[in-house]
C-alpha cells in the first residue's frame, strides 16, 4: 500500500489502520489495494488526514482519519488545552454511544483505535465533501442548521440520553464552570470594562445553569459544520465532537449565530431553532418561548465572549471566532434587563 506522506508520523505506521479501512469498506465488495493519506486543510486542534482508499475494481473511497492523541495534537492547540483533562476516548464514545440517536447529519464513524499502551487514539470517519457553513450564503441552509441544532438538543435532553452522556463522563457546564470562565477572562483582561461585565455575570450564570440540560457540541461554530455538495436539501453535518459536554443548548446556539447578524437575523435563527426543538425541552427560567430564548441566547453569547477572552494571548482563532470580544461582551450587558 502506498502512502502520500505529508505528516511527521506515518499514518500507515499506526497499527490497525489498514484493517480498519478494509472493514469500513467491506460493503464495497472489493479488497482495498492502496491507501493514500494527505494532511487535511481542515486540521485545527487535532491532526486530520484525508484518506483515499483504492479498491481492487479501480474505484476509490474517501475517508477521514482524525488523530486524537495528545502527542500528535497540533502545537497551537496544546497551548490552550489541559493535558490532564484531555480524554482521547471522548469523541469515539460520543460517536458510538450518542450520535447514533442524533438527527441525521453528522459523519458516520467507520472505525476507531483506542490503545492506551501505545498512546494511539484515532477515528476513521466518512468524508463529507462540501463547504464550511461560514462560506455558505444561502439563508435557508443556515435556517436548516439552526433547526438541526434544536432537534439535536431536544433529543439529547431526554433522560436516557443524558444518562448515557453521564456514563461516558462528559463534562458539565454547571455554575462553577461558568464562573471559571469569568475568572479567567478577568485575569486576562483586568480593567473597568470587565468590571462592568462582572456586575451582571451572576445573573447570567443563574440563567444558563438553570436551563434544562442537554448534550451540547461545545464548539458549534460555522467552521465546524460542513454543508455537503449535491442536490437540495443539502446535508448539514456537524463535525469535531471532542468538546461535547452537558449544558444549556443555547451555548451551542451562541457559537452558531455569532457574527455580524442583525437582530432580525438572530430572531429568525432562534425561531428555526425552536421549531426544530419543538419547544419540548426548553424549560429554563423563561419557559422556552421566543422572547425568553432570545434572552438566554444573549446570556450564552456573553459567556462565549468570556470563554474566548480567557484563552492564552497567543491563541490564533479561526476566522469565524475572531472579534473584539471584550467590546462585544460590554455591548451584550446592555441587552440584558439587569
Tens of pLDDT along 12-63? 455 667 788 888 888 767 788 888 888 887 766 678 989 999 999 999 999 9
Residues 203, 60, single domain; the answer is no
Residues 121, 235, single domain; the answer is no
Residue 317: pLDDT over 70: no
Residue 174: pLDDT over 80: yes
Residues 174, 38, single domain; the answer is no
3-class DSSP assignment, residue 270: helix
Within a domain: 1: no
Question: Please, which pLDDT band fits residue 3 given cuts at 50, 70 and 90?
Answer: very low
**CA distances in angstroms from 235 to 225, 245, 296, 308, listed in the order given:** 10, 24, 28, 29
Within a domain: 2: no
Residues 80, 142, single domain; the answer is no
In 173-216, the DSSP E strands lie at 213-216
Residues 194, 279, single domain; the answer is yes
Residue 1: pLDDT over 50: no
Residues 157, 298, single domain; the answer is yes
Residues 230, 199, single domain; the answer is yes
Residues 120, 137, single domain; the answer is no
CA nearest to 127, candidates 205, 216, 61? 61
Question: Please, which pLDDT band fits residue 9 given cuts at 50, 70 and 90?
Answer: very low
Question: Please, which pLDDT band fits residue 111 given cuts at 50, 70 and 90?
Answer: confident
Question: Please, which pLDDT band fits residue 77 given cuts at 50, 70 and 90?
Answer: low
**Mean pLDDT across 62-76:** 75
**Mean pLDDT across 232-253:** 95
Instruction: Say what the pLDDT of residue 14 is.
Output: 59
Within a domain: 293: yes
Residues 290, 149, single domain; the answer is yes
Instruction: Say what the pLDDT of residue 302 is.
Output: 97
Within a domain: 6: no
Q: Give 146 or 80, the one with higher predicted confidence.
A: 146
Q: Is the C-alpha dihedral spanning 240, 43, 62, 17 positive or negative? A: negative
Q: Is the C-alpha dihedral spanning 152, 154, 156, 160 positive or negative? A: negative
Q: What is the DSSP string of 13-33?
A: GSTTHHHHHHHHTGGG-S-EE
In 133-212, the DSSP E strands lie at none
Q: Which residue has the cell 441544532?
A: 149
pLDDT winner (highest mean) among 47-56, 76-85, 106-115, 296-305: 296-305
Residues 101, 31, single domain; the answer is yes
**Mean pLDDT across 285-310:** 88
Lowest mean pLDDT among 91-105, 246-260, 268-282: 268-282
Residue 288: pLDDT over 90: no
Residue 140: pLDDT over 50: yes
Residue 7: pLDDT over 80: no
Phi/psi for 9 (5° steps) reads: -115, 125
CB atoms < 10 A from the CB of 34, how many?
Answer: 13
CA nearest to 208, candidates 336, 61, 28? 336
In this predicted model, what pLDDT tens digit does every residue of 175-200 receive, in sequence order? Answer: 999 999 999 999 999 999 999 999 99
In sequence order, the β-bridge partners of residue 123 are 66, 112
> Which residue segment(s) compose the domain that 209 sits in?
130-333
Residues 212, 264, single domain; the answer is yes
Within a domain: 88: yes
Rounded CA gap, 213 and 330, in Å? 27
Within a domain: 3: no
- What mean pLDDT is reported for the chain? 86
Q: Report, in this order, helix, strand and coil percent for the chain, each rounded to 5.
A: 45, 15, 40
CB atoms < 10 A from the CB of 314, how many?
Answer: 8
* Percent of the residues in the chain that have a pLDDT greater than 90, as a whole number: 64
The interaxial angle of helices 250-257 and 290-309, nearest 10 deg, is 70
Instruction: Say what the pLDDT of residue 148 is.
Output: 97
Asked which of 78, 106, 125 is the last residue of a domain, the reply is: 125
pLDDT winner (highest mean) among 34-48, 61-75, 221-235, 302-316: 221-235
**Mean pLDDT across 144-155:** 97
Residues 104, 136, single domain; the answer is no
Amino acid at each position: 500500500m502506498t502512502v502520500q506522506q505529508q505528516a511527521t508520523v506515518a499514518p500507515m505506521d499506526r497499527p490497525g489502520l489498514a484493517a480498519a479501512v478494509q472493514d469500513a469498506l467491506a460493503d464495497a465488495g472489493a479488497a482495498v489495494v492502496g491507501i493514500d493519506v494527505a494532511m487535511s486543510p481542515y486540521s485545527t486542534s487535532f491532526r486530520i488526514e484525508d484518506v483515499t482508499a483504492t479498491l481492487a475494481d479501480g474505484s476509490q473511497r474517501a475517508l477521514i482519519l482524525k488523530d486524537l492523541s495528545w502527542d500528535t495534537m497540533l502545537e497551537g492547540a496544546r497551548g490552550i488545552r489541559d493535558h490532564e483533562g484531555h480524554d482521547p476516548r471522548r469523541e469515539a464514545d460520543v460517536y458510538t454511544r450518542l450520535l447514533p440517536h442524533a438527527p441525521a447529519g453528522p459523519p458516520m464513524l467507520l472505525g476507531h483505535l483506542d490503545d492506551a499502551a501505545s498512546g494511539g487514539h484515532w477515528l476513521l470517519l466518512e468524508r463529507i465533501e462540501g463547504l464550511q457553513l461560514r462560506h455558505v450564503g444561502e439563508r435557508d441552509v443556515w435556517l436548516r442548521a439552526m433547526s438541526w441544532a434544536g432537534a439535536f438538543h431536544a433529543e439529547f435532553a431526554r433522560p436516557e440520553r443524558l444518562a448515557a452522556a453521564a456514563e461516558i463522563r462528559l463534562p458539565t457546564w454547571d455554575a462553577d464552570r461558568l464562573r471559571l470562565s469569568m475568572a479567567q477572562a478577568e485575569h486576562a483582561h483586568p480593567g473597568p470594562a470587565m468590571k462592568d461585565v462582572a456586575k451582571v455575570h451572576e445573573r447570567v450564570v443563574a440563567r444558563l445553569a438553570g436551563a434544562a440540560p442537554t448534550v451540547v457540541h461545545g464548539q458549534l461554530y460555522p467552521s465546524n459544520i460542513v454543508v455537503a455538495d449535491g442536490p437540495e436539501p443539502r446535508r448539514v453535518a456537524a463535525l469535531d465532537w471532542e468538546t461535547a459536554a452537558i449544558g444549556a443548548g443555547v451555548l451551542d446556539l451562541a457559537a452558531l449565530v455569532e457574527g455580524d447578524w442583525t437582530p432580525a437575523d438572530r430572531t429568525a435563527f432562534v425561531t428555526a431553532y425552536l421549531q426544530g426543538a419543538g419547544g419540548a425541552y426548553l424549560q429554563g427560567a423563561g419557559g422556552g418561548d421566543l422572547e425568553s430564548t432570545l434572552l438566554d441566547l444573549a446570556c450564552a453569547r456573553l459567556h462565549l465572549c468570556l470563554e474566548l477572552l480567557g484563552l492564552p494571548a497567543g491563541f490564533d482563532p479561526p476566522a469565524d471566532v475572531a472579534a473584539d470580544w471584550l467590546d462585544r461582551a460590554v455591548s451584550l450587558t446592555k441587552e440584558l434587563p439587569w
